[in-house]
Amino acid sequence: MTASALRPYHAVFRARFQLLLQYRAAAIAGFGTQCWWGTIKVMIFSAFLAGPVASPMTLRETIDYIWLGQAFLMLLPWSADPELARMVRSGDIAYERLRPVDGYAYWYARAVARRTATPLLRAMPMVLLTGVVLPSLGYGRWGLGPPAGIAAVLLFIASMALVVALASAFSTLLDVLVVMTLSERGVNILVAPLAIVFSGSLIPLPLLPEWLQPFMQYQPFAGLLDSPLRIYSGHLGGWSAVGALGRQAVWTVLLVALGRAIMRRAMARLQTQGG
Amino acid sequence: MNAIRLYGRYVGVSLRSQMQYPASFLLTSAGAFAATGVDFLATWALFARFRQVAGWHFGEVALFYSVIGVSFALADGLTRGFDIFGDQFVRTGDFDRLLVRPRSTVLQLLGYELRATRIGRLAQALVVGVVAIRLTGITWHLAPWATLLFAVAGGTALFSGILVLQATLAFWTVESLEIANTLTYGGVEAAQYPLDLYARWFRNFLTFVVPLGCVSYFPVAAVLGKADRTGVPAQLLQLTPALGFVFLGVALWLWRYGVRHYTSTGS
Amino acid sequence: MSDSAIIVDRLTKTFRVAERRPGAWNALAGLVRRHYREVRAIDDISFRLAEGELLGFVGPNGAGKSTTIKILCGILEPTAGQCTVGGIVPWRERVRHVARIGAVFGQRTQLWWDLPVIESFALLRDIYRVPPERYRQTSDELIARLDLGRLLATPVRQLSLGQRMRCEIAASLLHEPRVLFLDEPTIGLDAVAKLAVRDFVKTLNREHGVTVILTTHDMHDIEALAERVIVIGKGVILADGSLASLRRGALAERRLRVHFAGEPPATIELPGAAVRQREARSIELAFDPRLTSAHRLIASVASEFEVEDIHLEEPPIEEVIARFYAQHEVDG
C-alpha cells in the first residue's frame, strides 16, 4: 500500500485519538479507580503470600504484576466500540458500507486509537506514581520495582507492541460480532468476565491452580496482559519469553483472519436485510 | 396517593416494562450470575493454592462475600435511576422532566426502574451464602440471623448512598460513574476480605469514611464468634451496620444540595 | 395584580461555559486547565401575561427561549429578576408550582416508552394526585377531544410521532393545569397532525381559558394560534405585540400577483410599486401600502393590460421573521 492509500486509516486513528484524549474527568477518575484497586490487591495478595504455603511468584513479582496490570487495564477489550453499537441500534451501520475503504482496516484503526489513547493517559501517571513517587517516599516495597534487566526491557517493549495489535484485533472482533448479532448486549456480557479472568487482571495467572497452567498459557487472553507483565519482572525470561511473544503474534493473526471472515458475512447480511 | 403507594405503582410499571423483553431479561440475569460466579471461582482458586489468608478460611471469606454481594445486588437493583442519572437525565436534559412533576426527585428516580436483572447477582451471592453457612456451621438461632439481616440492610443502605452520591456528582462532572465504581465494585472487592488484612489507614477509611467494613466485616466477625483484631469492642460489632444508614442520610442531604446547584446553574 | 397569570420582571440568567480549543496540544492542556466564558442567556426580560392569553414565543436557536421557559417552569433559578406564575415564584416552591402547570417538551417524552398509553396516564394520575372521579371525567374528555380511543392500549414506542404528540398533550393536561407550556409541539409532525394539534390548543385556550405559552420555529403555528407574539434574540425582547404589528414593523410590503392573458409586458411603470418576480405568464409586484393602495394599483393594471387574474398577498410570515432577525442582526 502506498502512503496515500493509508491516509483514511491514519486520519480516523488521529481523530479518535484526539477525541479520546479530551475526556479529562474520565482520565482522572479512572486513575483514581485504578490506584484504589491496585492498593486493595497489593494488600490482599501480600496477605495470601505471607502464609505458610509456597508461592510460584515472589511478592516482588506479584506486586509488579498488579501495578502494571492496573496501568494497562484499559488495553483490555472490555466492550465493543460504544459508538458502533449505537450505529447498529439506529441502523446507521448500513452507511458504513458506503465508505470507499477496507471496512476491517478502518475499524481496526479506530480500535487501535481506543486501545492506545485511553491506556496511555492512564498508564503514564500510574507508572509515575508507583514506580517513582512511592519509592522516593520510602514505600518502594509496595510500589512498582525496576524491570528485571536490559533484555527484559526490550522483550517487554516488543510484547507491549504485540498487546496493542492483539487487543485491537480482539476489539475489532467484538465490533464485528456486534454487527453480526445486531446487539452489543450479548457480546459485552460475555467478554468482560472472560477478559478479566483469563488475561490475569483479576488474579495473576501463575497463582491459579497448577493443573490449569498449561491451558492458561496457550489461551489468547494471556497475551493481553499476563505475558508482558511476567516478562517485565523476569518471571518469564529467555526462550520462554520469546515463546510468549510468538503466541501473541499467532493469536493476533488468527483473530484478524477470524474478524475479517465474520465481517464479510456480517456486511453481506446487512446488504440483504437493507440495514 | 402517598409516596409508598406511588412507589409500588412505579415498581409495577417498571417490572411490566422489563417483561416486555423476556429474552433480554434472562440473558442479562444469567450473564450477571455467570460473571460474578467466575469472579468467585477465582477467589476459590486462590484458597485452593494458599489454604488460608491471615488465619481466615474459605468458608468465612465466603460469608463476607455473600453479605456484601447481597447488599450490593439489592442496592443496585433499587437505585437504577441514580446509577444512570448522569447519562440518562443530566446529559440529555431529561431531569427537567422530573422537575416539572410535583413529587420529590428521589422518589421519582427510585421509581424509574426496579432492575429485575439484578436477580442474577443476588442469586449468585445467596448461593455463596448457603455454601458459606454450611462450611462455617452457623446455627439456626435468632441472634446470628438477625445480625446478618441487619448487616444486609445496612449494606443496602450504604451502597444506595454511594449510588446517590454518584448521581449527585453527575451535576458537576459528566464522568461521575467511574469514581463511584471505585466505591461500588471496588467496595465489593475490598469488603469481601476481612478488614484486619488491610493497612491501618485503609481500615479506618472502610470504617469511618465509607463504612463498608461496618456492614460486612464487623457484624460477620460477630456472627462467626471471632474476636475482632482491629480493636472494636465485641458489644459494638453487631451494631455497626447502623452506619450504613447514616451514610445514606448524608448522601441524600448532599443530593438536595446537588439539585439546588442544578436549578441555579442549569448545567 | 390578580388578572396577570404570569409576571416576568427584569429576568436575567448567566451561564458559565467551558471553552474547548481544537488540536491535540490544547486537548492535553485542557486536562489541566479549562477556560470559562460568561454567557448571558437572557438579559433583563420583562413581560406580563393575562389569564387566558395565548403567547407565541419566537426566536432563533440560542436566543433564550428555553431558558425563559425553564425559569417559568421552576426548573431553573434566574441570576437576577423576579417572576411569578399564578402568584407563585416557580423556583421557590417547585412542587406546589408544577402541580398547577402543564408542560409539553416536543423533543422528549413524558410517557413510559414500553407501556400502553393508558398506563402512563394512570401513573401520571397518581403522581399528580388527581382524585379518581376527576380523573375519569378529564381523561374521558381528553381522549374524546384528541381522538385517542384506539391508541390507549398501544405501547408508546409503537406510536407515530403525531399520535404520540396527541398523547403527550393529553398527558400534560390530566391534572387540569391553568397554565400550559408548549415547547415545539409540532416539530417533526406531518401536516394533518399539525392541524390537529393547533386545533386542539386553540379550543383549549378559547373555550377552557387555559393560559398557553408556545415556543416554536413553525411560523404557521404562530399564525394559527397566537394573538400575541414575543420575539426574543440574543437574550433580549426585540418585539412584543400582535403578529400584524410585527409585520408592520419588519416588512410592511404587500404583493400583487398579476396573471396576463398573453405575454406579460416588458416593463410596468406604476407609482409606489416594483417588479419583484417575473414568470412566463405572470408578474409579481411589491408595494408599500402606505404609499399606494391596492385598490388604485389594481385599477391601473387592469386598465392598461389584458389581465386574467389578480391575487393580493402578504409576504409569508417566515420571510417577515427572517427580515426582522436581519434588522436586529440576530441569526435565524
pLDDT for C161-173, tens place per residue? 899 999 999 999 9
The dihedral built from the CA positions of residue A98, A99, A101 and A102, taken in this order, carries a sign that is: negative
Q: Which of B123-127, B199-203, C213-217, C299-303 has the highest mean pLDDT?
A: B123-127
Mean pLDDT of chain A: 86
Question: B19: nearest CA in chain C?
Answer: C114
Domain ranges of chain C: 4-8+46-242, 252-314
**Out of C70, C126, C155, closest to residue B1 by CB:** C126
CA atoms within 13 A on the CB side of B21: 16
Cross-strand pairs, C282: C259
C-alpha cell at A105: 482496516
pLDDT for C135-156, tens place per residue? 999 999 999 999 999 999 999 9
Inter-chain touch A185–B179, beta carbons under 8 Å: no
Q: CA of C33 to nearest chain A CA: how many angstroms apart?
A: 10
Q: CA of B197 to nearest chain A CA: how many angstroms apart?
A: 6
Residue in the block written with cell 399520535? C163
Inter-chain touch A22–C24, beta carbons under 8 Å: no
pLDDT-wise least confident of A263-272, B73-82, C85-94, C210-219: A263-272
DSSP summary character for residue C4: E
Q: Residue C228 pLDDT > 50, yes or no? A: yes
pLDDT for B116-170, tens place per residue? 989 999 999 999 999 999 999 888 788 889 999 999 999 999 999 999 999 998 8
* Number of Cβ atoms within 10 Å of the Cβ of C295: 9
Mean pLDDT of A153-182: 92
C10 interfacial to chain A (CB closer than 8 Å): no
Mean pLDDT of C317-321: 80
C-alpha cell at C326: 436581519
Q: How many residues does chain B have?
A: 267
Mean pLDDT of B21-29: 86
Mean pLDDT of C300-323: 83
Q: Residue A205 pLDDT > 80, yes or no? A: yes
Are the C-beta atoms of residues C43 and C200 closer than 8 Å to each other? no
Three-state secondary structure call for residue A111: helix
Mean pLDDT of chain C: 87
The dihedral built from the CA positions of residue B53, B58, B60 and B66, taken in this order, carries a sign that is: positive
Residue B161 pLDDT: 96
Domain count, chain A: 1
Mean pLDDT of B180-193: 86
* Number of Cβ atoms within 10 Å of the Cβ of B141: 8
A18 interfacial to chain C (CB closer than 8 Å): yes
pLDDT for C97-127, tens place per residue? 999 999 998 778 889 888 899 999 999 999 9
Which residues does chain C have within 8 Å of residue A22's beta carbon, measured at their own beta carbons?
Answer: 20, 27, 30
Residue A21 pLDDT: 65
Chain C contact probe: residue of A18, A19, A31, A116 with most C CBs at under 10 A = A18
Mean pLDDT of A44-53: 93
Which residues does chain B have within 8 Å of residue C77's beta carbon, measured at their own beta carbons?
Answer: 263-264
Q: Which chains have 3+ CB pairs within 8 A of B? A: A, C
C20 interfacial to chain A (CB closer than 8 Å): yes
Kindly state the percentage of chain B with pLDDT values over 90. Answer: 58
φ, ψ of residue A96 in degrees (nearest 5): -60, -30
Cα–Cα distance for residue pair A121/A23, rounded to 1 Å: 10
Chain B contact probe: residue of C12, C77, C96 with most B CBs at under 10 A = C77
Chain B positions touching chain A (beta carbons under 8 Å): 24, 27-28, 31-32, 34-35, 38-39, 42, 45-46, 48-54, 173-179, 181-182, 186, 189-190, 193, 197-199, 202
Q: Residue B21 pLDDT > 50, yes or no? A: yes
Q: Which of A102-106, A154-158, A197-201, B172-176 has the highest mean pLDDT?
A: A154-158
Task: Write out the DSSP string of C7-35.
Answer: EEEEEEEEEEEEE---SHHHHHHHHH--E
Architecture of the CATH domain C4-8+46-242: 3-Layer(aba) Sandwich (3.40)
Inter-chain touch C115–B16, beta carbons under 8 Å: yes
Residue C27 pLDDT: 59
pLDDT-wise least confident of A256-260, B209-213, C70-74, C298-302: C298-302
> B249 vs B103, B111, B242, B246, B256, CA distance in Å?
19, 19, 11, 5, 11
Are the C-beta atoms of residues C214 and C202 closer than 8 Å to each other? no
pLDDT for A33-45, tens place per residue? 888 889 999 999 9
* Number of Cβ atoms within 10 Å of the Cβ of B242: 16
Which residues does chain A have within 8 Å of residue C30's beta carbon, measured at their own beta carbons?
Answer: 22, 24
The CA angle B204-B206-B207, to the nearest 5 degrees, is 65
User: Higher model confidence: residue A56 or residue C304?
Assistant: A56
C24 interfacial to chain A (CB closer than 8 Å): yes
Q: Residue C268 pLDDT > 90, yes or no? A: no
Q: Residue A75 pLDDT > 50, yes or no? A: yes
Type and span of the H or E element at A204? none
Residue A80 pLDDT: 81
**Out of C75, C76, C99, closest to residue B102 by CB:** C99
Are the C-beta atoms of residues C53 and C211 closer than 8 Å to each other? yes
The dihedral built from the CA positions of residue A225, A231, A234 and A237, taken in this order, carries a sign that is: positive
Domain ranges of chain B: 3-265
Are the C-beta atoms of residues C86 and C44 closer than 8 Å to each other? no
Cα–Cα distance for residue pair C59/C318, rounded to 1 Å: 12
Cα–Cα distance for residue pair B110/B82, rounded to 1 Å: 7
User: Higher model confidence: residue C20 or residue A240?
Assistant: A240
A21 interfacial to chain C (CB closer than 8 Å): yes
Residue C206 pLDDT: 93
User: Higher model confidence: residue C85 or residue A272?
Assistant: C85
Mean pLDDT of C38-50: 92
Which residues does chain C have within 8 Å of residue A17's beta carbon, measured at their own beta carbons?
Answer: 24
Chain C positions touching chain B (beta carbons under 8 Å): 13, 15-16, 67, 70, 73-77, 91, 94-96, 98-99, 101, 103, 105, 108, 110, 112-115, 119, 122-123, 126-129, 155
Inter-chain touch B93–C108, beta carbons under 8 Å: yes
Task: Write out the DSSP string of chain B.
Answer: --HHHHHHHHHHHHHHHHTT-HHHHHHHHHHHHHHHHHHHHHHHHHHHHHS-BTTB-HHHHHHHHHHHHHHHHHHHHHTHHHHTHIIIIITTSTHHHHHTSSS-HHHHHHTT---GGGHHHHHHHHHHHHHHHHHHT----HHHHHHHHHHHHHHHHHHHHHHHHHHHHTTT-TTHHHHHHHHHHHHHHHHTS-GGGS-HHHHHIIIIIS-HHHHTHHHHHHHTTPPPSS---HHHHTTTTHHHHHHHHHHHHHHHHHHHHHHHH--
Inter-chain touch A21–C20, beta carbons under 8 Å: no
Q: Residue A272 pLDDT > 70, yes or no? A: no
Cα–Cα distance for residue pair B77/B110, rounded to 1 Å: 10
Question: C33: nearest CA in chain A?
Answer: A24
Question: Would you tell me which residues 34-63 of chain C have a C-beta closer than 8 angstroms to some C-beta of chain A?
Answer: 34
C-alpha cell at A84: 458502533
Q: CA of B12 to nearest chain C CA: how many angstroms apart?
A: 10
Instruction: Name the E strands within chain C.
Output: 4-19, 35-50, 54-58, 80-85, 101-105, 179-183, 211-215, 228-233, 236-241, 254-260, 273-278, 282-287, 307-313
* Three-class HEC string of A37-92: HHHHHHHHHHHHHCCCCCCCCCHHHHHHHHHHHHHCHHHCCCCCCHHHHHHHHHCH
Cross-strand pairs, C231: C58, C239
A257-266 in b/e form (b: 16+ CB < 10 A) is eebbebbeeb
Range(s) of the domain holding residue A230:
3-273
Distance of alpha carbon B130 from its chain centroid, rounded? Answer: 19
pLDDT for A13-36, tens place per residue? 777 777 766 666 667 777 888 888
Cα–Cα distance for residue pair A94/A106, rounded to 1 Å: 15
Which residues does chain B have within 8 Å of residue A23's beta carbon, measured at their own beta carbons?
Answer: 175
Q: Residue B266 pLDDT > 70, yes or no? A: no
